[in-house]
Amino acid sequence: MNNGVDNIERMVDILSSLPTIGKKTARRLTYYILKQDLEYANNFSATLIDLVEKVHLCEVCYNFTETKVCKICESEKRDKTKICVVEDPSDVSYIDNTNEFSGLYHVLHGVINPLNNINAQDLKIRELINRLQGVDEVILALNPNVESDITAQYLANIIKPLDIKVTKLASGIPLGTSIEFSDNATISRALEGRVIIK
């Protein structure tokens, strides 16, 4: 692995393992990096290591944070009677950027998907149930697809008997798209028009 060609191929392989990056783009990025100086590479690798070493999951909501408990969970200004449940940490920022929601979040880290062998116990569902005291509404802000619908119904069946209102986003987000690819106005409308899960 010591000759230059192998190192180039190793870098192409690593970069193309990232989502949405194909071999061609990975190669273009690799050649771009090769044109930079050593300081660029040092900064790049240090940032990568810091990211993975210092960022971990909030022990309350399971969003990414560099502190024990994240800023949203710690904030006095957030409405602690409402929890918005999302699939991925990135969804928290998409929803919070709309300024439409002032409650707390809970990240499931996926949805139930029997075909891929992902069951309820693989997600942060028990952790969600354990923090529902004093909560009067759980908003399921999951993506519009079959697996998310199964997960939403599963959660509603557990949470509703606890006398907590369970709502889901209005169907503003088109089927097959995700929160990630929706603009602020669409997410705001979906939140505002949320409906109770029967």
Contacting Zn ion within 61-80 (CB under 5 A): 61, 70, 73
CA gap 84, 101 in Å, rounded: 8
CB 96, min distance to Zn ion, A: 12
**CB-CB contact of 160 with 146 (8 Å):** no
Provide the pairing of β-strand 64-65 with 56-57. Answer: antiparallel
Look at phi and psi of residue 117 and say left if phi exceeds 0, alpha if psi is from -120 to 50, else beta. left
Q: Which is nearer to Zn ion, 69 or 146 (CB)?
A: 69
Tokens read off for 81? 């009677």
Contacting Zn ion within 143-172 (CB under 5 A): none
Report if residue 140 touches Zn ion, rule: CB under 5 A: no
Report if residue 60 touches Zn ion, rule: CB under 5 A: yes
Q: Which is nearer to Zn ion, 63 or 182 (CB)?
A: 63
Residues in the interface with Zn ion (CB under 5 A) total: 5
Report if residue 92 touches Zn ion, rule: CB under 5 A: no
Return the axis-axis angle of helices 4-16 and 23-34, rounded to nearest 10°.
Answer: 130
**Which residues are at the interface with Zn ion (CB under 5 A)?**
58, 60-61, 70, 73
